[in-house]
């Protein structure tokens, strides 16, 4: 039996576009002689639809889309993902289902059993787990069809009480089919392949795995759909971070058999396994990770603008490493002509800050303007003088500069219809080293899930073929330039020290005792962790962040603002 994988990029709630894309792939599969074609989890409506699922009209449109697709299933079976109403009064009103369509009929539906609620997932908020598990017979083959997380229930200490494949295996299937919406992050991108391998070896049968690609606000899906035979060998792997299509004949896979696979998966496969504190920076900045982050950020920017109907971006270009990397990424994703850089020097800016930023824009070919802020800043101080009452220069005056820049950027954005890209990195957001309504302003955060040391690595990666970011931007000490001779290190530990502690605390959830046991100074641990926890209120007001790690700030990390823990 010839089975096609259609790895596609969907738009949440854009039923017309999603449906046409699916029908187009069905037509291609028919022309190439496929018997069956797989699409990804919730492809009908896009993933994750979140509270759209609470609207009857949204569900009705999902059903209409399935009816439209069904008309194109003559002589080819189609598996699509979409919500299904729960006809029982027990439990939630919906299932997350795989719909098996053939000859213009719904031949079967399979409901997802394992509904994740960790990190960015919140499926048990909307869906009811499956009540039963049955194979599907089609063209002489017995198919075990599952949805995404259903194949992850193999660990020694599983998150779920029922493993769907254990139930389906009792019915002696010939093939496993899995439709997924599995997000990218550099911390466990290889784990997905190992999960598939563990399944095929445990049950001794091949798997067709269809994942989604594209970016949905902050979540990036990298694709990587594949076919694996029962020996754990990858027979076909689709491209990453782009749409792709392939057909693989199942008869070529069934020639391999294997004994049961006894190795259990680690329950924490979704959490980084880096436990050597001194090797963290090397791990974070290794070329493989940086190359994947680069692709993910480009896709995140591109899809955010495309799916929101935006065309042009604006950002503040300071001559620093963060704005330089953000500008280079935006120009690559959107086209240099669509990205406007605004240079906003103050009396505390160094001369090379402006010249470095100008050189970068000349190299990239993007438009830029210079809007000095000293007069704006002085006007603020003049009007505030009676209230400030000659008190010494402090953080208040520093932040007025940052907020003046934020106002300039938003004014130009409003005037010309730009979207402001934020340039803050994860190290700054973690420690609160940023000004609300100033340099924390923006419609989308490009680097908010990228640590400072990774930003430097990204700059070097961007320069891998030719010099784009001036070397002086990479080499000079980072500074907010809000007071004379200011350096980031005046307020924060050196970034190569800071990022290791932040990664251990945020990604690996290591507490103070564990960090101190690793040899980190106790006072430093307490200082950094307090900075992270007391600045939750700032992050709560921040814009969406493109997620590239296993624990990004935003929807996947939910902490109380007023909590006392470690603060």
Q: Report yes or no on 120 lying in a domain.
A: yes
What are the tens digits of pLDDT across the range 138-180? 999 999 999 999 999 987 778 899 999 999 999 999 999 999 9
- Domain annotation covers residue 329: yes
Cβ atoms of residues 32 and 248 within 8 Å? no
Asked if residue 294 and residue 222 are part of one domain, the reply reads: no
Domain count, the chain: 2
Are both 175 and 110 inside the same structural domain? yes
Q: Are residues 355 and 481 in the same domain?
A: yes
Query: Is position 257 within any domain?
Result: no
Predicted pLDDT at 262: 42
Q: Among 464, 492, 520, identify where a domain stops.
A: 492
Spatial distance between the Cα atoms of 420 and 439, rounded to a whole number of angstroms: 11
Same domain, 225 and 299: no
Q: At which of 440, 462, 492 does a domain end?
A: 492
Residue ending a domain, among 467, 492, 517, is: 492
Contact 148, 41 (CB under 8 A): yes
State the angle between helix axes of 15-31 and 56-70 in degrees (0 to 180), rounded to the nearest 10: 20
Tell whether 198 and 295 lie within a shared domain: no
Retrieve residue 298's tokens. Answer: 């480009």
- Catalytic positions are 41, 112, 148
Q: Would you say residue 195 lies in a domain?
A: yes
Specify the pLDDT at position 523: 97
Domain housing 121: 2-252
Q: What is the pLDDT of residues 302-316, one digit of tens each?
A: 999 999 999 999 999
Alpha-helical regions (H) of 262-394: 280-284, 287-308, 321-334, 351-364, 374-388
pLDDT tens sequence across 319-358 = 999 999 999 999 999 999 999 999 999 988 777 889 999 9
CATH of the domain at 177: 3.60.110.10
* Shared domain check, 317 and 247: no
Evaluate whether 408 touches 373 at the Cβ level (below 8 Å).
yes
Q: What is the pLDDT of residues 103-147, one digit of tens each?
A: 999 999 999 999 999 999 999 999 999 999 999 999 999 999 999
Same domain, 214 and 307: no
CA-CA distance, 531 to 431, in Å (whole number)? 5
pLDDT number for residue 145: 98
- The answer to the question of residue 455 being in a domain is yes
Report if residue 460 sits inside a domain: yes
Picking from 255, 233, 250, the residue whose alpha carbon sits closest to that of residue 34 is 250
* Beta strands, E only, 347-387: 368-370
Residues 226 and 322 in one domain: no
Write the DSSP assignment of 50-64 as a string of letters: GGGGG-HHHHHHHHH
CATH code of 454's domain? 3.40.50.620
Q: Does residue 229 sit in the same domain as residue 126?
A: yes
Q: Is residue 513 part of a domain?
A: no
Confidence (pLDDT) at 195: 94
What is the band of 483 on the pLDDT scale with cuts at 50, 70, 90? confident
Predicted pLDDT at 177: 98
Same domain, 292 and 236: no
In a domain, 417, yes or no: yes
């Amino acid at each position: 039996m010839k089975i096609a994988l259609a790895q596609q990029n969907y738009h949440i709630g854009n039923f017309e576009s999603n449906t046409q894309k699916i029908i187009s792939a069905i037509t291609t599969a028919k022309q190439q002689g496929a018997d069956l074609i797989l699409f990804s989890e919730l492809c009908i409506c896009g993933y994750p639809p979140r509270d759209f699922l609470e609207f009857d009209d949204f569900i009705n449109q999902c059903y209409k889309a399935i009816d439209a697709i069904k008309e194109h299933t003559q002589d080819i079976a189609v598996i699509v993902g979409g919500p299904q109403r729960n006809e029982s009064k027990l439990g939630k009103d919906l299932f997350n289902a795989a719909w098996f369509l053939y000859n213009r009929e719904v031949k079967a539906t399979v409901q997802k059993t394992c509904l994740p609620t960790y990190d960015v997932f919140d499926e048990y908020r909307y869906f009811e787990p499956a009540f039963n598990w049955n194979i599907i017979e089609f063209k002489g083959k017995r198919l075990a069809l599952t949805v995404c997380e259903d194949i992850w229930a193999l660990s020694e200490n599983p998150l779920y009480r029922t493993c769907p494949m254990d139930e389906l295996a009792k019915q002696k299937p010939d093939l496993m089919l899995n439709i997924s919406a599995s997000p990218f992050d550099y911390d466990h991108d290889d784990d997905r392949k190992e999960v598939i391998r563990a399944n095929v070896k445990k049950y001794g049968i091949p798997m067709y795995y269809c994942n989604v690609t594209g970016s949905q606000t902050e979540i990036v899906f990298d694709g990587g759909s594949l076919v694996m035979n029962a020996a754990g060998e990858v027979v076909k792997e689709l491209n990453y971070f782009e749409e792709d299509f392939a057909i693989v004949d199942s008869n070529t896979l069934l020639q391999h058999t294997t004994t049961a696979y006894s190795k259990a998966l680690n329950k924490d496969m979704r959490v980084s396994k880096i436990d050597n504190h001194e090797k963290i920076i090397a791990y974070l900045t290794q070329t493989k990770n940086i190359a994947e982050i680069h692709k993910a950020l480009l896709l995140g920017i591109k899809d955010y603008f495309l799916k929101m109907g935006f065309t042009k971006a604006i950002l503040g270009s300071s001559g620093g490493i963060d704005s330089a990397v953000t500008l280079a990424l935006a120009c690559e994703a959107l086209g240099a002509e669509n990205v406007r850089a605004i240079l906003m020097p103050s009396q505390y800016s160094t001369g090379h800050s402006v010249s470095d930023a100008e050189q970068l824009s000349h190299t990239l070919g993007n438009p830029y303007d210079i809007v000095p802020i000293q007069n704006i800043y002085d006007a603020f101080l003049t009007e505030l003088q009676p209230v400030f009452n000659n008190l010494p220069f402090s953080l208040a005056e520093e932040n007025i500069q940052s907020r003046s820049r934020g106002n300039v950027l938003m004014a130009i954005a409003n005037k010309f219809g730009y979207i402001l890209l934020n340039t803050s990195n994860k190290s700054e957001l973690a420690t609160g080293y940023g000004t609300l309504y100033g340099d924390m302003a923006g419609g989308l955060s490009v680097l908010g899930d990228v640590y400072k040391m990774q930003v430097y690595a990204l700059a070097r990666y961007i320069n891998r073929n030719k010099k784009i970011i001036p070397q002086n931007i990479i080499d000079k000490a980072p500074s907010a330039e809000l007071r004379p001779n200011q350096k980031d290190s005046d307020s924060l530990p050196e970034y190569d020290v800071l990022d290791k502690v932040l990664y251990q605390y945020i990604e690996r959830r290591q507490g103070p005792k564990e960090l101190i046991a690793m040899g980190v100074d106790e006072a430093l641990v307490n200082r950094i962790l307090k900075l992270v926890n007391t600045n939750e209120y700032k992050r709560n007001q921040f814009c969406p962040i493109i997620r590239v790690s296993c624990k990004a700030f935003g929807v996947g990390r939910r902490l109380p603002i007023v909590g006392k823990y470690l603060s």
